[in-house]
């Protein structure tokens, strides 16, 4: 597997665009992703029971198993908590793009992100969809513009593309994502789009996506809020010409490794861009009884506001870490636990065999002063491990979200 250039349009048979239509005051706000041939589609969605209209639309299409040709995404308006009109507007967006492309509305997936509870400005939206479709493939910056147009409070574009070899033929997988705040396990205020030119056995893409999100998007946290719009969509159009990848084949292992790598990279980029973040945190749990226990413990630490604020304050308050593990539901023996905090400035041993280890506060401050922090938890209960990623909780986070609508 190697990283390649080209962004979301690196795989064969896809075109993309990003335009401004006025939903946002000045930034690009409308993206279209288009497959030149019908593509197998897979999706994963928010577990919030308050779901935005586009989530309902996409869930139905993915469940139907029908091939898909296009994805239209607007930023600046979530089309969430907008009642019956919200569903009408979502279907209208699909119909508008379908009319431009000469396809049917049920071949179009729709995503929205932005402010909740505000009706869609459909006149601007309609013009944006026309402009975005007509812009497909017209600029060398198409992939970059598509990645930019899905952003809201993000401060940088999140994109990644890789290439693998399947029986002598190059296969590519590429993704773009957005997310910065309202980020919590069970996905977040995040959208992610993965395109591949691989050919996959029917139903296999959904299985791969369902497994992949467990160790990527479900293991990140910024602020503890799970959104109404969280969506991950994946398309596979077979345009590489490589043999179809089937269940249990050696080629599937190769493809899965690359597919997971794209999702993990994008998930970590989201927390690197956490609203107001001054620290990027990884929680690593090893030696757990089961994968589920390892995930539960890692998630609980990364989502703890007390842990987040301690790290913002550069305070080695390790009791908060052990406490968060204790209420996680994970089964482990605290009397055998080991706990370390590491950064490029050094490593700090805080707990050994369940007992506190004396440490120098000045050294702790030096380790925690770095931006990238790793909390390493070593258990002696089994051989399973998991990692979670997040950021600290800062004064700036409060300012950004206090002024979000203004």
DSSP labels, 82-98: -HHHHHHHHHHHHHHHH
Three-state secondary structure of 94-137: HHHHHHHHCCCHHHEEEEEEEECCCCCCHHHHHHHHHHHHHCCC
Beta strand pairing call for 191-196 and 220-221: unpaired
Residue 123, C-beta contacts closer than 8 angstroms, at least 6 positions apart = none
Length of the chain in residues, anyone? 406
CB atoms within 10 A of CB 101: 16
The answer to whether the beta carbons of residues 76 and 23 sit under 8 Å apart is: yes
Cα(181)–Cα(400) distance, rounded to whole angstroms? 9
Residue 189 is a catalytic residue: yes
Annotated active-site residue in 189, 228, 231, 303 = 189
CA geometry: angle at 41 spanning 239 and 176, to 5°?
80
Catalytic residues, by residue number, are 189
């Amino acid at each position: 597997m190697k990283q390649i250039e080209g962004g979301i349009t690196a795989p064969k048979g896809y075109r993309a665009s990003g335009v401004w239509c006025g939903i946002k005051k000045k930034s690009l706000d409308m993206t279209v992703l288009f497959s030149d041939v019908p593509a197998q589609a897979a999706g994963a969605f928010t577990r919030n029971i308050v779901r935005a209209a586009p989530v309902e639309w996409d869930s139905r299409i993915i469940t139907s198993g029908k091939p898909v040709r296009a994805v239209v995404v607007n930023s600046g308006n979530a089309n969430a908590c907008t009642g019956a009109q919200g569903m009408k507007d979502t279907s209208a967006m699909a119909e508008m793009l379908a009319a431009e492309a000469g396809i049917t509305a049920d071949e179009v997936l729709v995503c929205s992100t932005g402010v909740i509870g505000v009706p869609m400005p459909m006149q601007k939206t309609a013009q944006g969809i026309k402009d975005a479709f007509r812009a497909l493939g017209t600029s060398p910056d198409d992939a970059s513009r598509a990645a930019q147009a899905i952003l809201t409070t993000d401060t940088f574009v999140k994109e990644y593309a890789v290439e693998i070899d399947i029986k002598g033929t190059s296969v590519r997988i590429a993704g773009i994502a957005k997310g910065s705040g309202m980020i919590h396990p069970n996905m977040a205020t995040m959208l992610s789009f993965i395109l591949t030119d691989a050919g996959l056995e029917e139903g296999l893409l959904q299985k791969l996506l369902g497994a992949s999100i467990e160790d990527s998007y479900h293991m990140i946290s910024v602020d503890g809020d799970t959104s109404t719009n969280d969506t991950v969509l994946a398309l596979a159009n077979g345009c590489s010409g490589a043999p179809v990848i089937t269940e249990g084949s050696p080629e599937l292992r190769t493809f899965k490794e690359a597919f997971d790598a794209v999702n993990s990279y994008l998930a970590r980029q989201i927390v690197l861009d956490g609203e107001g973040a001054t620290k990027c945190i990884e929680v690593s749990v090893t030696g757990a009884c089961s994968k589920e226990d390892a995930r539960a413990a890692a998630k609980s630490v990364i989502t703890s506001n007390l842990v987040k604020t301690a790290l913002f304050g550069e305070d080695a308050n390790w009791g908060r870490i052990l406490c968060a593990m204790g209420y996680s539901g994970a089964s482990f023996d605290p009397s055998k636990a080991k706990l370390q905090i590491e950064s490029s400035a050094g490593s700090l041993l805080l707990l050994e065999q369940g007992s506190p280890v004396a440490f120098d506060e000045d050294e702790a401050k030096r380790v925690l002063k770095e931006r990238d922090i790793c909390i390493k938890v070593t258990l002696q209960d089994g051989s399973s491990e998991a990692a979670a990623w997040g950021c600290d909780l800062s004064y700036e986070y409060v300012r950004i979200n206090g002024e979000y609508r203004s």
